[in-house]
Amino acid sequence: MSTKTILVKDLVKKFNLEVNQSIIGERQIIKPTLTRAGLALGGFLNTHDIKGSVIVWSTQEKKFFDTVGFDNIRGEIELIFKNEPALVIMASGMSDKHAEVIKKLANLHNIPYCRTWMNMASLHGSIGSYLLEEFAPSYQIHGTLVVIMGLGVMIMGDSGIGKSEAALELIQKGHQLVTDDAVIVSQIGEKIVGRAPRITKNFLEARGLGFIDIQSVYGYRAIVDYHDIDLVVKLTDFKENNDFDRLGNKNLHYQIYNAKIPLIEIPVKAGRSFASLVEAAANVQILRNQGVDPLDVIRERTVSEPN
């Protein structure tokens, strides 16, 4: 079982939830998914599913309360609270009448409680996705992650080769930064997602300038909290790399977990600007994703127009 935890107060702050702050304290979330606790309401309680989880009740639970009779399952609700869920959320489908009683029971057992305008789909898409991302296994890669026209591009290469400087130029062109120098990567479903370490989030280090607060200097639009890694661009020293993929026909990949990310190697000379080359690599990959490969076009021309 994962040892990672999330503080309830951090979740509440991130999603602007209104919760009794005096109850929250240092309470921790230890489960990576939202819990409906439907079986528990029916009398089949698994304490492992309840303790430290975020419980969400909405339209289905309201119908159950109305059908069975709220007073008949009051004991089950109290038993759920006695097993210490981290937080109870009432979604938009819950009636005011039932929500008010549940609120009183939650306060009685010192369980954080809130109501929200969001329905279940919205909760799964926001809070549910956030929990999955935070609890997903992760490790750190030396690189810089930017978003170029919606494509997540991780720039890799030896220290001092110019990854951060390239990222800074790309930001000045209107592209976005996810993280500089260190990428925390996680696998969420079939996607590989990258984000910044908490300490260096929003910062980029450029030689001679030190740390630059990208959000303060270039605005909120210049920053993305996390993004899929769709392409890896590896910068290599032009003098040392004589075996690079000159025609781009080797279908190179960079493996993260069990996923193979398309890889493009670009030989560079120190001291030169190559942000435009990274941008061009992103454009090439976007075309490939659409089924268009420049090399295939040239091959077709060679066959149809040999002269």
163 counts as catalytic? yes
The pLDDT tens digits of the residues spanning 167-182 come to 999 999 999 999 999 9
Catalytic residue among 175, 181, 234, 288: 181
Which range is least confidently modeled, 138-147, 234-243, 250-259? 234-243
246 counts as catalytic? yes
> Per-residue pLDDT for 290 more than 60?
yes
82 counts as catalytic? no
Catalytic residue among 198, 207, 239, 246: 246
Catalytic residue among 27, 62, 163, 175: 163
Question: Does any domain span residue 219?
Answer: yes
Tell me, yes or no, if the pTM score tops 0.75. Answer: no
Burial 205-238 (b: 16+ CB within 10 A, else e): eeeeeeebebeeebeeebbbebbbbbbbbbbbee
Q: What is the 3-state secondary structure (H, E, C) of 241-252?
A: CCCCCCCCCCCC
> What is the distance between the alpha carbons of residues 125 and 281, in angstroms, rounded to a whole number?
31
Question: Does any domain span residue 304?
Answer: no
**Same structural domain for residues 56 and 144?**
no
Catalytic residue among 13, 63, 97, 142: 142
Question: Does any domain span residue 1?
Answer: no
Which tokens in the block code for residue 18? 């209104």
142 counts as catalytic? yes
Which tokens in the block code for residue 182? 């260190």
Q: CATH code at 261? A: 3.40.50.300
Question: Does any domain span residue 290?
Answer: yes
**Same structural domain for residues 144 and 33?**
no
Which tokens in the block code for residue 301? 């021309």
The pLDDT tens digits of the residues spanning 20-70 come to 767 788 899 998 888 886 666 776 666 677 899 999 988 888 888 888 887
Which tokens in the block code for residue 252? 């190179």
The pLDDT tens digits of the residues spanning 150-209 come to 999 999 998 888 899 999 999 999 999 999 999 999 988 788 999 999 899 999 998 888
Task: Return the pLDDT at 2.
Answer: 45
Domain boundary among 116, 135, 154: 135
- Print the domain residue range for 219: 138-299
